[in-house]
Amino acid sequence: MESPFDLVVLGAGSGGLAAAKRASRYGAKVAIVEGDRVGGTCVIRGCVPKKLLVYGAQARHQLRDGSAYGLTLGTVRSDVSELFRRVRAEVDRLNALHLDFLDKAGVELVTGWGQFMDPNTIGISVERGGAVERQLSAAKFLIAVGGRPVRPEIPGIEYTWVSDDIFKLTDLPKRMIVVGAGFVACEFACILQGLGVAITQVVRGRRLLRGFDEELAAAVLDGMHESGIEVLFRSSVAAVRGTFGQLSALLSEGGSVPCDAILMATGRRPWLQGLGLERADIAVQEGRIQVDAESRTSMAHIYAVGDVTDRVNLTPVAIDEGRAFADSVFSNRHRKVDHNLVASAVFSNPELATVGLSEEDAIARYSADGVLIYRCRFRSMARALPATGPLCLLKLVVRRETELVLGCHMVGEHAAEIIQMAAIAVGMGATKADFDRTMALHPSVSEEFVTMS
C-alpha cells in the first residue's frame, strides 16, 4: 500500500477537477482517478462540443438569411465532416489544458478505473472491471464520476445511438429520429436539423421540456415546428428493426417511421456501476448516492458531488459543489451550495433560458391570485428583414403581495446570455419596481424585461 493521500477523487469531470485543485491549493496531498479522458461529460462529450455544433448550425441559418440583407451568395459547400473534425480538435485542446492545470496544481493523476475495496481503500484497474493493479488509501474520498445516458430495453436497441455517439460522427444521416422530450433531445433535434438532417422527434408525453415553464416549452415547440422538425406526442418507440443506415422505428401505438439513424435521448442516470459502493457501506437511494447538504455520504469521510448525486445536474453546480467541499473540509471556510436558485438554459432553436420559479410552480406555492404574470412576445429586430424565424417570449413571474420577482424566463436569441445577468437581480431579491426603474437599452431584446406593464 502506498503512503496515504489526504484526498482521493474518483472522476476527473467538472466537480472532481474543481475539488481536487482547490484542495491541493489548501495544501492537501491529492490524487484524482480517471479511466477516461480528463474533462468529464461537459468538456469531452457534452456542453462544449454540443455548443460548438449549435454555432455550426447557426452559421448555416445565417447564410440562408443573407439575401434579406442584400447579400448574393455563390455556391456554398457544406462539409459536415470538417465541422466535426474541428469540434474534436477543440475538445483535444481543452483536454490537454485540463491535464496541464492538474499538473500545475500539484494533483497526481492516476489513470485507471477506481473502485472501493473497503471504506478506506481504492483499487485501480487499467481496464474497467479488470484486475486491481494498484491501491490508494486516503483520509477523505470524493466520488465525482458523473452520469451516463440510458437506453430503454427494447428489441433492436443496439442499432441506436446516445448523445455520446453523435460527437464521434464523420458524416450525418439524411433522416433521423430523436427519441425524448428533455433538453438533450430538443438540443440535438435542432442542431441536426440545422445541419441538414430531416428530424422526427418522438415524445412519450404531451409536451416538451417537462420541468420548465410550460409556456416557454410551447414557444420552443413553435420554433421547432417552423424549422421543419416533426414532433410526435404521446408516442414511443417499441422496437427498432433493420440495421445501421436502414432502420425502421416501430411505434407503440402502431405504425412505423423509416429513418437512417435513431438517437435515444431518454435520460441520464448516475454512473454507479463498478464503484464497489457496497464494500464501503455507502448508501444508495433510487439509483443515486445519498448525500446531505454538505455532500457527505452515509460514511462521514466519503463525499459525493455532481450528477452522481442527482441533485441539480449542471456543470456550474458540480463545480461549486466541488469547491464548497474543498473549502469546508480543507480550509475551514465552511459553506453549503444553494440549489434553490440556479439558472439553466436549453440551447435549442429558439434558445430557452430561465431562473427562478416557473408560472406553474409559483401558482402552486402562492395560488393563482397570489401571482402576477408579465409577458411579451414579438419578432426581434434580428428577424425583421428575413421576416422568418421564431418569436421571442419574455416573461416575469411576480408575487403579488410583495412584487418580488420569483422567476425570469426567456425564449429567443441570446436567451442564456441575458438570463445570466437577470439571475443576479433575481438572486438579490429584485422587485418588479426595481426592473421598472432600470433604464432600457434600446433597441435590444432584453429591454422588454424593464418595460413590461
Residues annotated as catalytic (active site), given as ranges: 442
| d(C-alpha 209, C-alpha 199), whole Å | 17
Q: How many CA atoms lie within 13 A of 46 on its CB side?
A: 19
Residue 181 cell numbers, joined: 422530450
Rounded to whole angstroms, the Cα distance separating 116 from 127 reads: 15
Identify the burial level of 227 via C-beta atoms within 10 angstroms of its C-beta, where 0-12 means exposed, 13-18 middle and 19 or more buried.
buried
